[in-house]
Amino acid sequence: MIHMYPLKLENVRFRCHDIIGVHELNGKIVYVHGALGDELQDTSDNKTVCPNLVIADSFTPDFAVHTQTHISYKEEGVFYAGTCAKSYVEEGRLFLNTYKTVVSKTISHGDNRAFKKLFEITDSEIREILPHPRPEEELFSHQKTYRFGDYVLHMASDWKLECRSAQTDTVLWILRLTSYLYTELEEQNGILYFGTAGKGGFFYGVSLNNGQVIFKWDTGHTTRIVWGNDCVIITDRKGNMVLINPTTGIEIKRLQFRKMGASTHFPFLVRGNSVYTVLYNKKDIQELYAAYVEI
């Protein structure tokens, strides 16, 4: 069964809208999102400005009770919601740092284009915390080196995954991909899991021992790997949610949303037998819904 609730702000039209995170806090499910709102006319100097919006929608796990808090700032810079902004729970407190990580050499902490705020989100308010900390430098997954026991893996080129021995530094195997590595490399029970995106993408299960592809799913794009109930949760090209056996790659269950779609571009939260995520209207991708699905 699918339960949905629209993620919107009454009487405000969003120019752009990004979901930052889905978290469990004090027994509730909290959706953190940011948006650029309608134009507002600044009467002091007749300049047209757009408000940056930070919004938190909180639900009981069954979506029976919903509350919303938000704050608005006149345009003070670019909200890099899809890259630099991160929401996270730390010591039982929920934070949103709109400029937590730097993922591009073209963006620096001193760049006046950036919207740099640190907020704490509670049940009743969103409050700014000063001062804003310096951002952390973050590497893309394809720039990292991964080690699992004696196996050392990295992208030798844009589309070539190379595995070497840590002891001898000899090449053990090479796997040629057809699109860019977008997720971290993860390993369980001798199987390497990762997703690619860009020029068409797949979700892979690969033998760590010899680099043989055990399975791959044509998703169009896989930007994060979601685990739940001993299975992997992915989305296909049509926006369906698919639960697969992580050992064999065989489909266990498929959830279809008709006019709505799911994407691993959006955050997932697995809690028991429920997956909390975001669905989009296939006819209007700016129309987003908080959703939970029983798996």
128-176 pLDDT, tens digit each = 999 989 888 888 899 999 999 999 999 999 999 999 999 999 999 999 9
Q: Please check whether residue 51 lies inside any domain of the structure.
A: yes
Write the secondary structure of the chain as one string of H (helix), E (strand) and C (coil): CEEEEECCCCCCCCCEEEEEEEEEECCEEEEEEEEECCCEEECCCCEEECEEEEEEEEECCCCCCEEEEEEEEECCCECCCCCCCEEEEECCEEEEECCCEECCCCCCCCCCCECCCEEEECCCCEEECCCCCCCEECCCHHHCCEEECCEEEEEEECCEEEEEECCCCCEEEEEECCCEECCCCEEECCEEEEEEECCCCEEEEEECCCCCEEEEEECCCCCCCEEECCEEEEECCCCCEEEECCCCCCEEEEECCCCEEECCCCCCEEECCEEEEEEEECCEEEEEEEEEEEC
Comparing CA positions, the residue from 142, 279, 186 lying closest to residue 203 is 186
Q: Please check whether residue 113 lies inside any domain of the structure.
A: yes
What backbone phi and psi angles, to 5 degrees, belong to 10?
Answer: -55, 135
Q: Please check whether residue 281 lies inside any domain of the structure.
A: no
- Choose the final residue of a domain: 137, 162, 186: 137
| Domain, as residue range, for 83 | 2-137
Q: Structure tokens of 68?
A: 């919303």
Rounded CA separation 282/262 (Å)? 10
pLDDT above 80 (res 218): yes
25 and 145 fall within a common domain = no
Q: What is the pLDDT of residue 38?
A: 79
What's the number of domains the chain is made of? 2
Rounded CA separation 147/51 (Å)? 44
Q: What is the pLDDT of residue 204?
A: 97
Q: What is the pLDDT of residue 110?
A: 52
Q: What is the pLDDT of residue 77?
A: 80
125 and 153 fall within a common domain = no
Q: Please check whether residue 277 lies inside any domain of the structure.
A: no
Average pLDDT over residues 188-203: 93
Q: Dump pLDDT digits (tens) for 57-110.
A: 999 999 999 999 999 988 778 888 878 899 999 999 999 999 998 865 545 545
Q: What is the pLDDT of residue 36?
A: 87
Q: What is the pLDDT of residue 40?
A: 66
Q: What is the pLDDT of residue 30?
A: 98
| Structure-token match 């029976």, residue found | 64
pLDDT above 90 (res 212): yes
Average pLDDT over residues 215-236: 91
Q: Dump pLDDT digits (tens) for 233-292.
A: 999 888 899 999 999 999 999 998 888 999 888 999 999 889 999 999 988 887 899 999
7 and 131 fall within a common domain = yes
* CATH at 189: 2.40.128.630
- Choose the final residue of a domain: 118, 137, 156: 137
Q: Please check whether residue 44 lies inside any domain of the structure.
A: yes
Q: Please check whether residue 290 lies inside any domain of the structure.
A: no
Q: Please check whether residue 267 lies inside any domain of the structure.
A: no
Q: What is the pLDDT of residue 265?
A: 85
Comparing CA positions, the residue from 212, 238, 237, 209 lying closest to residue 222 is 237
18 and 127 fall within a common domain = yes
Average pLDDT over residues 190-213: 94
